């Protein structure tokens, strides 16, 4: 039986989305997402712990994120974990675990001036996710 690699996060963007274009013409966007949890320590004092997640978006989802998201926006991300490793110029091995997003929903209310895909009716608010055309994927 195959395993399950599924991540669902609700958090706030820590910095603006970073969009870049690969030589193949594909859009790649990286986000820094903060999730927080509140708990009481042994003495009963309420504490808050924040985790930072690196999120990677591809193609149309990357373009949407770059056009609509800003620092502080609350978003829902759904995807899978992927770990990659590389060596830097000094030969030091590095590893990074990232969330590769398949779905993105903007939870912060959008202003009327925010760019993005048009809604079915102008009075109806936009709700994600915005599907991508998977027919052009290389795998």
Q: What is the pLDDT of residues 12-45, one digit of tens each?
A: 999 999 999 999 999 999 999 999 999 999 999 9
User: Is 92 in a helix, a strand, or coil?
Assistant: coil
Cα–Cα distance between 82 and 80 in angstroms, integer? 7
Reply yes or no: is the peptide bond before residue 20 cis, omega within 30 of 0: no
Mean pLDDT, rounded, for 105-115: 69
Q: CA-CA-CA-CA torsion for 113, 29, 16, 68, nearest 10 degrees?
A: 10
Domains of the chain: 7-136 (2.40.50.140)
Per-residue tokens: 123: 């009075």
pTM score above 0.75: no
- Closest to 18 in 3D by CA, of 33, 36, 6: 33
């Amino acid at each position: 039986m195959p395993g399950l690699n599924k991540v669902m996060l609700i958090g706030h963007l820590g910095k603006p989305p970073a969009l870049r274009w690969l030589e193949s013409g594909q859009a790649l966007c990286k986000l820094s997402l903060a999730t927080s949890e509140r708990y009481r320590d042994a003495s009963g004092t309420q504490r808050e712990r924040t985790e930072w997640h690196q999120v990677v978006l591809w193609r149309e989802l990357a373009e949407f994120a770059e056009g609509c998201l800003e620092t502080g926006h609350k978003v829902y991300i759904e995807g899978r974990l992927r770990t990659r490793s590389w060596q830097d110029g000094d030969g030091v091995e590095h590893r990074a675990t990232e969330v590769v997003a398949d779905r993105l929903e903007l939870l912060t209310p959008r202003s009327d001036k925010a760019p993005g895909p048009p809604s079915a009716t102008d009075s109806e608010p936009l709700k994600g996710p915005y599907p991508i055309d998977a027919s052009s994927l290389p795998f």
